Structure 1
């Protein structure tokens, strides 16, 4: 059973034998700089997924592109060997380890997969915004201090600036290292979660079947909810741009909990990912041949 989407890992819960989760604040990767997208990476040899995502005629593709939602995960013995000695977020925050776990299924299923997805987690964004997130054995993600009310959110989220590069440079470094390690075999996917999905975890303190606290918050104080969602969207938008600048060739936005709300409520509350400033977009995309704009696929609620 999974209660929390970790697209590259599927690690909704962790084994009781796994190392105790560290909750220290991440520090920037020393001396990391964004690569030159046109000269620093090998030529891409398999662009099937990118061609498909760009709506190329399916009849011109050799086969439907294949990648697995939880491509690196506990079904791999080599994955378990790494996780035996390192906590989940330690792996996420260590570029060499994140690269290794991203590469494991590519090596094992050489020639069978058409994409890789960076080993990370959707909850690195709340961490970057100042919240503590733990992975608890048998439970999954846990926020020791979730958002309690609008005043709490105002103080901890809305009044706090987030330096995305400083807080998430370890993800960018992992993406750059992985692109180089892939050697052009397959493209590398980057990702984040949709604002509503992250807001739910930040309010509930973890996964939920009903998301009652989050929904109640939105009905009691919709303006505050909109403000928090917009702040999450702003950080997520900058994070996605950073992933592209680091070398991600395709982006996915997972709004797993979008079906908790009715379609009308989604339209009322849910902000689009804001477009970054023009100079930032240009720096990310001017030399990127294959780039899809991030988007949400909102499922229809009841």
Structure 2
């Protein structure tokens, strides 16, 4: 990807995602809208997560809160990766302190065949929330998102969060035809969910594959990459940058990029200059401060920020982010200070 010179009509984040010239490095944070903010906790009090995600006024306010507080260069749409599954009709809940819990895990052909699909008319509240949020953001770009097929499949097959993904891997290897059918259906759900967000005004999207770092490269290429590629290809005609991110994916970066990403998200385990070398300089990168370092004294934190900015210059473009989500007990004032440091240190 070559630099085409500045285009100040485009938001900073979009220019960086396209490998265009920027006057400073854009910054946003995964889970920036969430429990680290006291205003979020006050707004969410007594409201279940799924209900909050389907209430447009709440979604808009929660999405905008970190932009208002921190001055980040993008908003990430407030939702949860299982929201489209619930909207399609899957019986699940998001249990505080646990995460998504599926009432009847999907582990055989009949259950996969019975998995419902998702249509845009099942999520009018999502489109409404995006439109409202875009209007409220007043030019700050909104990033839409969806969970990737493997991570969605893991929740459905395991019945909830899993450390080892044993049932998921057993299905993948033991009945690859059923696995492919499951992931094909989940890819269609994720594609629909992303298209709804883009068509309502999202300027970029991120495909989250939270658990895919549990796989070998060989298994990823055989069992996962085609389905993630289907999602990314399924929104290609809409022309927005597509960010692809997973945790613990240092060994998968090249094949995740080849799935169709415009920007590759890098977790905190691989330095950005090393990630860029592995990717042969083909992709703008996003990342990759360790979220635990937000609890460290400012001096080592500042050194880490500066080192990441320096390493990111090796890539065709760089979006500063964490290497995973903001932790719930993070001091929001530290996040604001990180944004200010990124902006001042990276000014061209």
* Kept in 2: contact 1:150–1:224 (CA 8 A): yes
Residues 120 and 171, structure 1, Cα contact 8 Å, conserved in 2: no
Runs of 4 or more above 4 Å deviation: 293-299
1:234 corresponds to which residue? 188
Tell me the CA shift for residue 248 of structure 1.
Answer: 0.3
C-alpha contact (below 8 Å) 1:194/1:296 kept by paired residues: no
How many pairs does the alignment contain?
A: 239
1:248 equivalent in alignment to 2:197: no
The match for 2:46 is: 85
Determine the C-alpha separation between the residues in 1 that align with 2:230 and 2:250. Answer: 17
Residue aligned with 1:215, SS: helix
**Normalising to structure 1: TM-score of the pair?**
0.73
2:151 aligns with 197
1:181 to 133, 136, 160: 136
Supply the distance in 2 between the matched residues of 1:107 and 1:152 (Cα, whole angstroms): 44
How many angstroms does 1:242 deviate by? 1.6
Give 1:258 shift: 1.6
For normalisation by structure 2, the TM-score amounts to 0.64
What RMSD, in angstroms, separates the aligned Cα atoms of the two structures?
2.2
- The residue number in structure 2 matching 1:27 is none
Out of 127, 131, 141, the residue aligned to residue 172 of structure 1 is 127
Structure 1 runs not aligned, ≥5 long: 1-43
Q: Report how far residue 126 of structure 1 moved.
A: 1.8
Distance change >3 Å, CA 163–CA 139, structure 1 → 2: closer
Residues 243-265 of structure 1, C-alpha deviation per residue, up to 9 Å, x if partnerless?
A: 11010000100112222222121
Q: CA shift at 1:45, angstroms?
A: 7.7
The structure where strand makes up a greater share of residues is 2
Which of residues 213, 238, 248 in structure 2 aligns to 1:259?
A: 213
Q: 1:64 maps to which residue?
A: 25
Please list the CA deviations of residues 91-139 of structure 1 after superposition, one character each: whole Å capped at 9, or x if unmatched.
1000010001011112222xx3101111111111221332122122322
**SS in structure 1 of the partner of residue 182 of structure 2:** helix
- 2:53–2:79 Cα contact (<8 Å) kept: yes
The structure where helix makes up a greater share of residues is: 2
The equivalent position to 2:109 in structure 1, one of 150, 162, 177, is: 150
Change (3 A) 1:293 1:84: closer
